[in-house]
């Protein structure tokens, strides 16, 4: 096995388990081999050239699971106010004392990944098989080798959840540790659900999260995601969605926390007439760095994509948006629009943005664009002229810019939940203070 120096701490920490099914042990070993052969990404690779991984490479984040305690009051800042099916994961493991899954309708399965492996292993085996083979994803390979838990949502055809599925991922560690979540959402034909995820915590830890999503024919999934990790935390995540005929996947991601963060979203249209909506915002200050990467692959005819991402960057922070839409030769009648807009609040703040289109079909309607700018001086003058103090006028303009993406969240209660966190950031509040 060829090895890279930065992979050694993780290779040394790997321990197989005789208690696991043989197929899983084999999959873990194969994933570890891929990680060892690949090593950490470098800036010589186009997909990683704007992401500074040195904070991750300088320290060995030993894989761990469990070992921290949270009380109900600890999760209060991130709890959804409405009723939900709630799963809480602490340091990579299911926390039953904080969870409240409640009564599920017939045809629905919601449980930890560990429980699903014990009771319905075929669900995990089906979803894990070859899920990390596409593209160069070394951290997903590391996740496949080390994951201890996560969540599994599986809906049989025609099953509709009326309450959101709320998943809260918490991390806490005094020493550098890594927590590897592996989760799966399997939507049967014509099923529907709303998934509300939150990542939070405190301490020097690394969250490495992988979520595999399969949306069957005619099914619909709305996926809302809040990343509000601790100030010293590192957050790297991959969400990979497969869409069947007429399926719909709507995603909204709000990035507020973490010292270093990156979220890759891959969506593949495998059936005719599928659609996805990818929206989000990153709001950064101090020396934060956050990267959002989207890749939408139109592989079937009649697909529709809409993307809107906004960035607000202050102090010395650095934001990155890399968006790519690929229209394959058989994907005629594809309709795709992508837009990234960014607001710089200080001279030392910076943004790198790179929207791309790859079109290999003739009958398509596609567009993309990006902007980077400062606060509108005329708008600021207008507000000041009406007696509004400068700080308040500045806050109003930033809020108007950032909240445009929130308006795209269809569920009103969830929209209010996310708006509360955005308002806290705008007001300078910090849960981690």
Q: DSSP labels for 358-427?
A: EE--SSEEEEEEEEEE---HHHHHHHHHTT--HHHHHHHHHHHHHTTTGGG---HHHHHHHHHHHHHHHT
Q: Give the pLDDT confidence of 128-186 residue by residue, as tens digits.
A: 765 565 556 899 999 999 999 999 999 999 999 999 999 999 999 888 999 999 999 99
User: Helix or strand or coil: residue 175?
Assistant: strand
* Residue-level pLDDT at 185: 97
d(CA 406, CA 400): 10
* Residue-level pLDDT at 283: 97
- Residue 206 scores a pLDDT above 60: yes
d(CA 246, CA 302): 9
Helix, strand, coil tally for the chain in percent (to 5): 25, 40, 35
Task: Record the tokens describing residue 91, joined without a space.
Answer: 């340091």
Q: Give the pLDDT confidence of 284-310 residue by residue, as tens digits.
A: 999 999 999 999 999 999 999 999 999
Q: Angle formed by the axes of helices 22-38 and 121-128, to 10°? A: 30
Judge whether 323 and 307 are in contact, CB under 8 Å. Answer: yes
> By mean pLDDT, which of 22-36, 81-95, 191-205, 349-363 is the weakest?
22-36
The values of phi and psi at residue 143, to 5°, are -60, -45
Q: Give the pLDDT confidence of 103-122 residue by residue, as tens digits.
A: 999 999 999 999 999 999 99
Helix (H) or strand (E) holding 235: strand 234-243
d(CA 355, CA 83): 38
Spatial CB neighbours of 297, under 8 Å, sequence gap ≥ 6: 266, 267, 268, 269, 326, 328
Nearest Cα residue to 178 out of 211, 162, 201: 201
Domain ranges of the chain: 5-271, 377-433
* Residue-level pLDDT at 433: 45
Q: Report, as an integer, the average pLDDT of 200-220.
A: 95
pLDDT band at 19 (very low <50, low <70, confident <90, very high): confident
pLDDT band at 48 (very low <50, low <70, confident <90, very high): very high
Judge whether 284 and 319 are in contact, CB under 8 Å. Answer: yes
Helix (H) or strand (E) holding 325: strand 318-327
* Residue-level pLDDT at 287: 95
Q: Give the pLDDT confidence of 260-291 residue by residue, as tens digits.
A: 999 999 999 999 999 999 999 999 999 999 99
d(CA 309, CA 314): 17
Nearest Cα residue to 200 out of 154, 238, 256, 252: 256
Q: Give the pLDDT confidence of 356-386 residue by residue, as tens digits.
A: 999 999 999 999 999 999 887 778 777 888 8
**By percentage, how much of the chain surpasses pLDDT 70?**
95
Judge whether 194 and 222 are in contact, CB under 8 Å. Answer: yes
The one-character DSSP state at 50 is T
Rounded to the nearest integer, the mean pLDDT of the chain is 91
Nearest Cα residue to 165 out of 106, 117, 102, 218: 102
Task: Record the tokens describing residue 212, joined without a space.
Answer: 């595999």
Q: Give the pLDDT confidence of 64-73 residue by residue, as tens digits.
A: 867 777 888 8
pLDDT band at 252 (very low <50, low <70, confident <90, very high): very high
Instruction: Could you list the beta-strand ranges (E) of 91-233.
Output: 93-94, 108-112, 151-155, 165-187, 192-215, 220-228
* Residue-level pLDDT at 133: 55
d(CA 403, CA 418): 10
Helix (H) or strand (E) holding 8: helix 8-13
Q: DSSP labels for 300-317?
A: STT-EEEEEEEEEE-TT-
Q: What angle do CA 173, 281, 309 make, to 5 degrees?
A: 135
53-85 burial, b if ≥16 CB within 10 A, otherwise e? beebeeebbebbbeebebeeebbeebbbeeebb
> By mean pLDDT, which of 46-60, 64-78, 201-215, 220-234 is the weakest?
64-78
Token match 């949270």: residue?
Answer: 70
């Amino acid at each position: 096995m060829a090895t890279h120096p930065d992979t050694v701490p993780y290779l040394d920490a790997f321990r197989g388990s005789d208690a696991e099914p043989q197929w899983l042990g084999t999959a873990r070993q194969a994933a570890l081999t891929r990680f060892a052969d690949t090593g950490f990404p470098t800036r010589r690779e186009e997909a990683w050239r704007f992401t500074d991984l040195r904070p991750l490479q300088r320290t060995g984040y030993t894989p761990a699971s469990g070992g921290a305690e949270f009380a109900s009051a600890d999760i209060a800042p991130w709890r959804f106010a409405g009723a939900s099916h709630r799963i809480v994961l602490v340091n990579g493991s299911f926390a039953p004392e904080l969870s409240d899954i409640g009564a599920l309708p017939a045809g629905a399965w919601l449980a930890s990944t560990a429980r699903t492996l014990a009771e319905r292993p075929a669900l995990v085996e089906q979803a894990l098989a070859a899920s990390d083979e596409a593209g160069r994803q070394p951290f997903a390979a590391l996740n496949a080798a080390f994951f201890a838990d996560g969540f599994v949502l599986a809906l049989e055809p025609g099953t509709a959840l009326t309450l959101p599925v709320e998943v809260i991922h918490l991390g806490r560690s005094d020493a550098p540790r890594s927590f590897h979540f592996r989760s799966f959402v399997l939507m049967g034909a014509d099923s529907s659900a709303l998934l509300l995820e939150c990542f939070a915590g405190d301490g020097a830890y690394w969250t490495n999260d992988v979520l595999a999503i399969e949306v069957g024919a005619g099914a619909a999934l709305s996926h809302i995601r809040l990343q509000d990790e601790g100030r010293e935390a590192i957050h790297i995540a991959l969400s990979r969605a497969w869409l069947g005929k007429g399926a719909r996947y709507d995603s909204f991601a709000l990035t507020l926390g973490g010292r270093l963060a990156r979220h890759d979203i891959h969506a593949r249209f495998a059936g005719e007439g599928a659609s996805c909506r990818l929206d989000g915002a990153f709001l950064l200050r101090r020396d934060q760095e956050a990267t959002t990467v989207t890749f939408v692959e139109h592989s079937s005819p009649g697909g529709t994509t809409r993307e809107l991402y906004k960035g607000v960057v202050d102090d010395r922070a650095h934001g990155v948006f890399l968006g790519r839409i690929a229209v394959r030769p058989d994907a005629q009648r594809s309709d795709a629009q992508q837009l990234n807009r960014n607001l710089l609040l200080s001279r030392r703040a910076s943004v790198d943005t790179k929207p791309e289109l790859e079109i290999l079909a003739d009958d398509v309607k596609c567009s993309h664009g990006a902007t980077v700018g400062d606060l509108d001086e005329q708008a600021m003058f207008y507000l000041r002229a009406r007696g509004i103090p400068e700080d308040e006028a500045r806050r109003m303009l930033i809020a108007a810019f950032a909240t445009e993406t929130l308006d795209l969240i269809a569920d009103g209660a969830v929209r209010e939940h996310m708006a509360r966190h955005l308002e806290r950031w705008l007001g300078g509040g910090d849960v981690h203070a």
